Amino acid sequence: MSTGDPKLQTERTMLEALVCPQTQATLEYDAAAQELISRPAGLAFPIRDGIPVMLIDEARKLD
């Protein structure tokens, strides 16, 4: 038997399938900040209205 909301599980699985457009590295999902983090590129890609914005120009540079 599955636990949790199936919609949230599907959403998380889809987010985990994305890779960084610059480095092709796996992204970390930061639910609190609603971002996908690429440590190798030093970028955080925003998630707006549930949609990941995977444009390098829209990404925030990590400190």
Residue 43 near residue 56 (C-beta atoms within 8 A) = yes
pLDDT tens column, 12-59 = 777 778 999 999 999 998 989 999 999 999 999 999 998 899 999 999
Question: What local confidence, expressed as pLDDT, does residue 50 receive?
Answer: 85
CATH code for residues 6-61:
2.20.25.10
Does 1 score more than 50 pLDDT? no
Contact between 43 and 61 under an 8 Å Cβ cutoff? The reply is yes
- Show the tokens assigned to 25: 């590295």
Six token digits for residue 32: 């609190």
User: Are the C-beta atoms of 45 and 35 separated by less than 8 Å?
Assistant: yes
Structural domain spans, the chain: 6-61
pLDDT at position 3 over 70:
no
Strands 51-52 and 35-38: unpaired
